[in-house]
Structure 1
């Protein structure tokens, strides 16, 4: 049924994917590329705007995200978020907070887990705040010392 819905043959599926997590990871990666392309050309210190765009993506894909949460597949999305954040840091789209460089792998895991979990809670609560409000909330959390 998955192959039919995706309009691919079963042989294509088995050639390109080993597990269902691979399918989810590829879909999340494609969404991430869309997210990156939607980012405005702004100064690297405007984390709130970049996070607002992430929450807009989450809101657009709310039903799919909640299904993934229900079936315990949030780790795939957390890994994808960490990969995207790493790209943003490496290309100076977002600045790492002071003193974080030496612990970067832990920072990415921390941030990805925190943001994805907050986003899931926000989706479960019906997206009561706007994506801009959520983006500012995350930016405030990151800036807290």
Structure 2
């Protein structure tokens, strides 16, 4: 019985050193994504999708974190047809450990990202290149304007 406890402690120690090792490399790993947290037409156009999400729950699933989210508004969607309502948001464990993107349950975010295959059956993928900004109600109007400009073909020039 004592052997089992020792093995558990060893695995916790390994996990802790792994996490510390990741955190040591986070600055260089996340550098590209640590930009100004502002939304403009150029950033909107560069991404495949733009949605307002409410983070409901987080579960670890192997190399990934599976966030249960409620998609409140869809401003832009790429190949993966994003629908309003409860969906999964997948983020690599390494990205979560480095807080790029920084996501907390119970919060609402504007999420801009690129289409990528999700590790599960369905959902949206966010990574260190995704823009995840805590939601502000003042953005709804601006995003609707971006949506209208995109429909008029303005994104092709941006």
TM-score (norm 2): 0.26
Q: Is the helix fraction higher in 1 or 2?
A: 1
Which of 1 and 2 has greater Rg? 2
Greater relative CO, 1 or 2 (CA 8 Å, sep 6+): 1
TM-score (norm 1): 0.28
